[in-house]
Amino acid sequence: MDLSSLVASQRQYFQTGSTRPLAFRQEQLHRFKAAIESHEEELFSALHADLHKSPAEAYTSEIGMLLSEITHTVKRLPSWMKSDRRRLPLFAKPGKGWVSPEPRGVVLILAPWNFPVLLLLSPLIGALAAGNCACLKTSEHAPHTSAVLARLVRDTFPPEYVTIVEGGSDVAKTLVCQEFDYIFFTGSATVAKEIMAAAAQRLTPVTLELGGKCPCIVCDDATLEITARRLVWGKFINAGQACVAPDFVLVDKRIGERLMQEMIRCAQKFYGEDPQKSPDYARIIDRRHFDRLIAFLGYGHAIHGGQHDAEQLYIAPTFLTGAPLTSPVMQEEIFGPILPIIEYENLEEALVILQGMPVPLALYLFTNNKKTRARVIDGTRSGSVCVNDTVLQIAAKNLPFGGLGASGFGSYHGKAGFDCFSHNRSVLARPAVFDPAARYPPVTISMKELKRAYRLLVGE
């Protein structure tokens, strides 16, 4: 595939202006939704083949979220596209000022393997809503899903409008060196640095959705049964292979033992005595990630789980205690079904631990005390915060989703996705009348008079 010609054909199509009208954007989003619905069974099968995802998990964590966001976007797109009038200072009158959201142009979207449908197509919703052409790159680590997505896109859109590219890292490296107007990447910080370096050569703006060690603080006033259920659910979705999954738990030592026992009961209830037989429990994506996760088990004591099967890429839901803060399992993003649990003496001790770590994509807090909630939110940094639950913040379409610092930058979902792929273009329009000579050289007033006039005309 000639990637440079592909991008050139999309740029030529974009420059025709065909993607800009509201009716066109809404029509394409309707077609997009219909295509996802018609390929639903194929996507279920592919996600099971790549990650052992059940149809229920595939729908609730990927496909259903896409369908909901498309409906949300189509309904609100007319108001999002409207120009926003702005007040002008006296010097610009008579005149009008407004800000108009303009499409960025031809955009590149690079997706990871862990949620290969959602994380490829969710950014595309914002890109199409904003009036762009798009090139999509699937993950080679989820080959079955990649193949279905390729058919879906090619059956739905002309390649000069939306195209999809399959292949390995060599293809991705070639893509990011093309003349795109915007790059949207979801994945690891290591790859993100390479993408930023390539984008910098062309001054191409980027959004990076990364990850990090998302912490969970459980205070002594938390409602333990609900806390345990929501924590276990959020941690073991997709076998923990989620950028917003709780990565470790900091729990008040007064309730630590009770929380652990309650989480063990929840894990057994969700996945049975032998999770390997559960239809609702996913698998690790490949042997390299499997081996990396197994190595983490050596840095603590598994109070529950720890069983694994290399042939099936299976690792049981595992709770780990005794892991030193300096150990790899507490320094690296786990991205798997292993949950270290650390007890703290008081809340300030927990906050000190978090302040010594890179900024995560999400922070979770379980407490019923508003002052505690305020203290934790004010005393930490993260891309998002979720109180008394896990993961749900990514499904709230009116909440921008994105990282900070090491967890990335830029945001999307709902209107934030439209804004991500739009340029807010400022326009100042004046009539060709009333043109006082005092504006132009030579200056005939004193500096004191000039300053007074400037303050009046420009404002302070």
Question: Model pTM?
Answer: 0.95
**Ranges assigned E (strand) in 232-360:** 248-252, 301-304, 308-309, 314-315, 318-321, 338-344
**Which is nearest to 58 in space by CA: 144, 168, 183?**
144
Question: What pLDDT digit, counting tens, does each position of 372-383 carry?
Answer: 999 999 999 999
Domain 3-210+410-423, CATH class in plain words: alpha beta
Q: Are the beta carbons of 425 and 137 closer than 8 angstroms?
A: no
Angle at 259 between CA 292 and CA 229, to 5 degrees: 80
pLDDT tens per residue across span 329-357: 999 999 999 999 999 999 999 999 999 99
Bridge partners for 419 per DSSP: none
**How many angstroms separate the CA atoms of 82 and 345, rounded?**
53
State the CB neighbour count (10 A cutoff) for residue 227.
Answer: 26
pLDDT in tens, 305-334: 999 999 999 999 999 999 999 999 999 999
4, containing H or E segment: helix 3-14
Q: pLDDT value at position 384?
A: 97
Q: Are 329 and 340 in contact (CB under 8 A)?
A: yes
8 A C-beta contact, residue 141 and residue 113: yes
Whether 14 shows a pLDDT value over 80: the answer reads yes
**Whether residue 460 has pLDDT greater than 70:** no
Q: What is the pLDDT confidence band of residue 406, given thresholds at 50, 70 and 90? A: very high
The answer to whether residue 243 is catalytic is yes
Q: How confident is the model at residue 436 (pLDDT cuts 50, 70, 90)?
A: confident
Is-catalytic flag, 333? no
CA distance 251 to 349: 11
In angstroms, rounded to a whole number, what is the distance separating the alpha carbons of residues 74 and 65? 14
- Which two structure tokens, joined as six digits, stand for 268? 């057994």
Q: What is the pLDDT of residues 126-164, one digit of tens each?
A: 999 999 999 999 999 999 999 999 999 999 999 999 999
Look over the chain and give the mean of its residue pLDDT values, rounded to a whole number: 97
| Mean pLDDT of the region 201-230 | 97
* Mean pLDDT on 438-442: 91
From the list 81, 132, 76, the residue with the least C-alpha distance to 109 is 132
**Is a pLDDT exceeding 70 seen at residue 62?**
yes
Pinpoint the residues of the chain covered by CATH 3.40.309.10: 215-402
Q: Where in the chain is the domain with CATH 3.40.605.10?
A: 3-210+410-423
Q: One of 57, 209, 333, 343 is an active-site residue; which one? A: 209
Q: Which CATH architecture has domain 215-402?
A: 3-Layer(aba) Sandwich (3.40)
Residue 270: per-residue pLDDT: 98
Q: Looking at 243, 266, 386, 420, which residue is catalytic?
A: 243
3-class SS at 397? coil
What confidence tens digit (pLDDT) does each residue in 100-127 have?
Answer: 999 999 999 999 999 999 999 999 999 9
* Angle, helix 143-156 to helix 40-51, in steps of 10 degrees: 160
Average pLDDT over residues 211-217: 95
Tokens 């005390």 label which residue? 369
Q: Would the pLDDT of 1 be above 80?
A: no
CB 251 within 8 A of CB 214: no
- Mean pLDDT to the nearest integer, 444-457: 92
Cα separation, 321 vs 79, in Å, equals 51
Give the C-alpha separation, 156 to 130, whole Å: 18
* Phi and psi at residue 346, to the nearest 5°: -150, 165
Q: Which residues pair with 294 in a beta bridge?
A: none
A 10 A CB-CB count for 23 gives 7
- Band (210; pLDDT cuts 50, 70, 90): very high
